[in-house]
Amino acid sequence: MRRLTAPALSTHCVRSICGAAPVMYFPPAPFASASKEEQVKKNTKIAIEMVRRYKGETPECYTRKYTATIEQLEKEIEALLGGTQKMRKAATDDQPMDKLGLMERCLRHALWSYHKDEGKYDFDEIARWVVYTPEDEMKLAQMKRQVEAKSKLAAYRAKRAKEGLPEASAPLINWEEEYKSVTDRELVNEKRLRYDTIAANTMERDEAQIEAVLQQYRKPVQDKRLDELVDLLERFKPVLAREAIMQRLTIKHLEGQLGVWRYMDWCPEVRDRAELEVDVSGFQWWSPLEERRLLPVRLRSVNEVREIMAQTQSSKAAEASVHNPQASQSAGDGDRERLLKEVLALQARIYQRDDAPVEEKKAAH
């Protein structure tokens, strides 16, 4: 019997993967085997629940004092303010506003605030009459992005519906190539499952029901704005008429078509100023004192209004942070994470509420 030596028994140790367990792919069934109508109802229910959670309690109904519509008020404002721009001299934002400029800014601000909340967007007019602070500019830019995204999505859906394609915007992927490019098939299966789930279910909602819920929150505020706009217009009408008449008389006087005495009869302010200058001519020392006294009596400039608006917004934000500490978080990842947690918790609660009767029936059987 021959003795075997140790080198004869030595073998090379090689570590290798013998094979990967195959991961089977099963296409997802439609959501809970529900029909498209049931899916639309569920999506609508989730959206309405989210709106009510975000908006809070529905405001109380508001009874209007006037019957004027926004179209009538807009025509009246245009008739009153249509030619005022031609009658005013050009002024910068640092110069004090005149009466016509101030009244126009107040009326246009109220008008475009109403249009903005009603979904009628003219961003140039909104930026001119409604935007004052950097926070307002940020909100306007966000509104522009939202309106642009909605219009693009509507055009995309209309195009896909016209071509007879599914409404889900899932990319076209060659899954055979995806499987060949990776070692672990489970990752590709998870990706494929998510895309197929989106394609198998519908994202549609009943927009009419959602709009009706939003209208419950919007209508009282808008009706109150209309009444305030009517009150503001009635308060400004006499001043607007008098100011427009004085502007025209001033133009006639400068053109030499109106005598100075007739002009002074029509314009008490000019007459008072002329009498003051006559008095001052005898007492030269009184003139600078009187000018100094009358200098602060003026209207604010646009930049001063912007500073006041910024202070008002900061004070309101401070009050809101005191009453609701959660609202004072920065508008960054913290807000997004908090909102995402609320959405997920809301969806989980809705699904539990909807699936509970089914489980009870199964347990009963």
Q: Do 95 and 220 sit in the same domain of this protein?
A: yes
Domain boundary, last residue among 181, 201, 221: 201
Do residues 127 and 65 both lie within one domain? yes
Tokens of 338: 């908090």
- Residue 13's pLDDT band, with cuts at 50, 70 and 90, is very low
> Which residue matches tokens 């640092």?
94
101/234 same-domain check: yes
Does residue 182 share a domain with residue 76? no
pLDDT at 143: 93
83 and 142 share one domain: yes
Q: Which of 14-18, 58-62, 209-213, 334-338 has the lowest mean pLDDT?
A: 14-18
Q: Are 120 and 111 in contact, with CB atoms under 8 Å apart? A: no
At 242 the pLDDT is 79
pLDDT at 80: 82
Exposure string for 129-153, b = 16+ CB within 10 A, e = fewer? bbbbbeebeeebeeeeeeeeeeeee
Question: Do 59 and 115 fall into the same domain?
Answer: yes
- Residue 42 belongs to domain spanning: 35-167+205-240
Total domain count, the chain: 2
pLDDT in tens, 270-291: 666 666 665 555 555 556 666 6
Please give the pLDDT value at position 87.
63
Residue 97 — pLDDT band, cuts 50, 70, 90?
confident
Tell whether the model's pLDDT for residue 296 goes beyond 80. no
Q: Which of 62-66, 173-177, 253-257, 265-269 has the lowest mean pLDDT?
A: 265-269
Q: From CA 300, how far away is CA 298, in angstroms rounded? A: 7
**CA–CA separation, 237 and 235 (whole Å):** 6
End position of a domain, from candidates 225, 240, 255: 240
What is the percent of the chain with per-residue pLDDT over 90, rounded to a whole number?
28
Residue 362 lies in a domain: no
Please check the confidence at residue 48 and state whether its pLDDT lies above 80.
yes
The per-residue pLDDT of the chain, averaged, comes to 78
Tell me, what DSSP letter sits at residue 122?
A: -
pLDDT score at 318: 83
- Cα separation, 275 vs 163, in Å, equals 80
Alpha-carbon gap, residue 228 to 141, rounded angstroms: 28
Structural element, H or E, at residue 134 = helix 134-163
Per DSSP (E only), the strands in the chain are none
Same domain for 96 and 77:
yes
Q: Which of 192, 219, 240 is the last residue of a domain?
A: 240
In a domain, 83, yes or no: yes
Residues 50, 88: one domain? yes
Are 192 and 120 in a shared domain?
no
Give the whole-number percent of the chain exceeding pLDDT 70.
70
In the predicted structure, residue 23 carries a pLDDT above the cut 80: no
* Same structural domain, 39 and 176: no
Q: Alpha-carbon distance 80 to 223, whole Å?
A: 22
**Residue-wise pLDDT tens digits, 348-362:** 666 655 555 555 555
Are 209 and 113 members of one domain? yes
Query: Is 128 inside any structural domain?
Result: yes
Instruction: Specify whether 93 is located in the same domain as 232.
Output: yes
